[in-house]
């Protein structure tokens, strides 16, 4: 059974690659958009360019993407991003390392027509990569050793954005007729939250599971079955402490490479003081506190310590979503 699960994860992982190259026509569409006169708007500039969107108009897509950006960026005070150019891909969602001619981020989404939840899901994933400094140490093989964690966080961002959009659009939609779409965002998230493979095996802690699967994660950061399981467990933390999103902006600031323990210790060292307790809590969940490897007791000790990073797990902790953004 374990062999079948691993094979399924490997097959699914091909659609989950988030940083890749695109063909010349796609790049041309992005660069053409970069050369056009940008629409002036406050805050982050997101421009949908090129064709392939089906019956969805670019301005409609931009409305959804801007809503996603507003939800995530509210937790990054003072963070300023270069414009983001968004084009359609017939393959899978990706963000390129290579910037546009005006230093724009270049994102591709596979969503099309008026499937608004899918646009939100895919874009939140790619925006999370930007916010977690995906382009630091670009092209370094050693960087990929811990990339699975960033893929997982991006997947958490997708779920978080969908659920927040459901709440926000219900009471304050960008246009009155958009309020009806709020329930669609919620249903799209719930579709994934109930999937069985996103749950830990019975009587297994995340620390124990991680100890058993760390080598696979290190070798292939795009194992969706694994990423989605971990994302399921982290989602309640970000929902209860949404200001913690700012902490992902302190990933990848150290040297490339190292094992997951070094990576997490570097994250905690680089983060502001007000985020250190929650990062420590995450480390406890994985059993990698200063005392060494954990077997599940670390997370319990972290909760009993009563530090500010103690989350109260809600219903969402029983399910999860994040995997491939091409869903």
For the residues of 231-262, what is the DSSP string, one character each? HHHHHHHHHH-GGGGGGGGGTT-S-S---HHH
**How many residues comprise the chain?**
327
Residue ranges of domains in the chain = 18-140, 142-318
- Kindly state the DSSP code that residue 47 receives in the 8-state scheme: E
- Chain-centre distance for alpha carbon 187: 19
Residue of 40 and 220 predicted with greater confidence: 220
pLDDT > 90 in the chain, percent: 65
How high is the pLDDT of residue 175?
83
pLDDT at 223 over 60: yes
3-state secondary structure of 315: helix
Phi then psi for 88, rounded to 5 degrees? -90, 145
How high is the pLDDT of residue 131?
98
pLDDT at 186 over 90: yes
**pLDDT, tens only, 204-214:** 999 999 999 99
pLDDT at 259 over 60: yes
pLDDT at 267 over 70: yes
Cα pseudo-dihedral 297, 298, 300, 301, rounded to 10: 110
* The pairing of beta strand 105-109 with beta strand 84-88: parallel
CB 326 within 8 A of CB 15: yes
Q: Which residues of 210-221 are buried (b: 16+ CB within 10 A; e: fewer)?
A: bbebbebbeebb
pTM value > 0.85? no
Q: Six-digit token pair at 260?
A: 């997951």
pLDDT at 170 over 60: yes
How high is the pLDDT of residue 140?
75
Read off the pLDDT of each residue in 260-266 and give the average, rounded to a whole number: 95
Axis crossing angle, helix 58-73 with helix 147-171, rounded to the nearest 10 = 110
Residue 47 backbone class (left: φ over 0; alpha: ψ -120 to 50; beta: rest):
beta
Residues 6+ apart with CB under 8 A from 131: 72, 76, 79, 245, 248, 249
* The pairing of beta strand 46-48 with beta strand 94-95: unpaired
How high is the pLDDT of residue 290?
63
Residue of 10 and 191 predicted with greater confidence: 191
Give start and end residues of each alpha helix (H) in the chain. 2-13, 24-35, 58-73, 116-131, 147-171, 182-193, 206-219, 224-240, 260-270, 273-286, 297-304
How high is the pLDDT of residue 2?
55
CB 241 within 8 A of CB 278: yes
Of all helices (H) and strands (E), which one includes residue 169? helix 147-171
Residues 6+ apart with CB under 8 A from 265: 283
What is the 3-class SS of 117-167, one letter each residue?
HHHHHHHHHHHHHHHCCCCCCCCCHHHHHHHHHHHHHHHHHHHHHHHHHHH
Of all helices (H) and strands (E), which one includes residue 107? strand 105-109
3-state secondary structure of 205: coil
pLDDT > 70 in the chain, percent: 75
Separation of alpha carbons 110 and 18, rounded Å: 12
**pLDDT, tens only, 60-79:** 999 999 999 999 999 998 89
**pLDDT, tens only, 119-160:** 999 999 999 999 999 998 777 767 688 999 999 999 999 999
């Amino acid at each position: 059974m374990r062999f079948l699960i691993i094979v399924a994860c490997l097959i699914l992982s091909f659609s989950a690659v988030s940083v890749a190259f695109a063909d010349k026509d796609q790049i041309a569409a992005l660069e053409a958009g970069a050369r056009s006169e940008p629409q002036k708007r406050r805050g982050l500039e997101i421009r949908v360019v090129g064709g392939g969107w089906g019956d969805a108009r670019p301005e409609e897509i931009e409305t959804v993407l801007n809503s996603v950006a507003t939800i995530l960026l509210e937790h990054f005070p003072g963070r300023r991003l270069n414009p983001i150019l968004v084009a359609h891909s017939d393959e899978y969602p990706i963000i390129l390392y290579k910037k546009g001619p005006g230093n724009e981020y270049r994102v591709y989404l596979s969503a099309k027509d008026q499937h608004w939840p899918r646009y939100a899901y895919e874009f939140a994933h790619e925006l999370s990569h930007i916010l977690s400094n995906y382009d630091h140490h670009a092209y370094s093989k050693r960087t990929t050793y811990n990339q699975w964690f960033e893929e997982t966080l991006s997947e958490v961002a997708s779920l978080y954005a969908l659920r927040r959009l459901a709440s926000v659009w219900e009471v304050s939609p960008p246009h009155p007729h958009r309020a009806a779409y709020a329930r669609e965002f919620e249903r799209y998230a719930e579709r994934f939250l109930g999937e069985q493979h996103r749950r830990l095996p019975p009587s297994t802690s995340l620390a124990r599971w991680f100890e058993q699967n760390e080598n696979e994660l290190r070798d292939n950061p795009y194992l969706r079955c694994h990423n989605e399981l971990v994302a399921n467990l982290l989602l309640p933390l970000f929902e209860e402490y949404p200001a913690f999103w700012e902490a992902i902006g302190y990933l990848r600031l150290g040297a490339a490479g190292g094992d997951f323990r070094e990576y997490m210790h570097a994250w905690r060292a680089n983060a502001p003081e007000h985020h250190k307790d929650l990062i420590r809590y995450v480390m406890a969940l994985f059993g990698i506190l200063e005392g060494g490897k954990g077997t599940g007791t670390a997370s319990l000790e972290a909760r009993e310590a009563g530090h500010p990073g103690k989350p109260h797990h809600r219903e969402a902790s029983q399910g999860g979503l994040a995997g491939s953004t091409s869903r």
